[in-house]
Every structure is written in structure tokens, then in C-alpha cells.
Amino acid sequence: MALSYKARKRWSLVILLIGLPVYIVLAVTLADWLRGVMDGPPMLLELVVFIVLGFLWMLPFRSVFLGVGQPDPNEDEDA
């Protein structure tokens, strides 16, 4: 089932305003846990973890964000 342009725009706002901050808290919690388990992992490993987590959050939502910044394709151009 494909989402309409308006639905994708609304969901993208929900994801960015609510989901992303929650994900950031979870990512920092994971990094803190990793610090506790490994007694301070190397800085390069932490950097890799944050880069991977920074890209992971957007993969499931790629179809929601695709084309949201473009004008509405269903809008009449004559009006």
C-alpha cells in the first residue's frame, strides 16, 4: 500500500520530531553500555558505532522521506 504525498509528509514530521530524538537517546544509551562493558572502547570504535547508528535509523524510512521536499505531484498547476 503506497502512502499519499500528504501522508508521507505527515509521517516524516512524526518520525523527525518524535522518533529521531528517541532513537538518539537509545544510541547514546547503547554507547554508554558499550563503554561499561569494554572499560572504555577505543575512540575509533565509538566513532564507527555512531556512524553506523547514524545511517541505520533512516533505512526503514527511506520510502517515507522520498520526494517529500518536492512539490505535491497531485496538486493542480492551473490553480
Closest residue by Cα to residue 58 from 29, 26, 19, 25 = 19
Q: Domain limits of the chain?
A: 26-61
Taking only the tens place, the pLDDT of each residue in 28-70 is: 898 888 888 888 778 888 888 889 988 888 888 888 888 888 8
Task: Return the CA Rg of the chain.
Answer: 18
Band the pLDDT of 79: cuts 50, 70, 90: low
CA distance 33 to 17: 25
Answer whether 22's CB lies under 8 Å from 45's CB.
no
Query: Residue 62: what pLDDT?
Result: 86
CA distance 38 to 36: 6
Taking only the tens place, the pLDDT of each residue in 13-29 is: 999 999 999 999 998 89
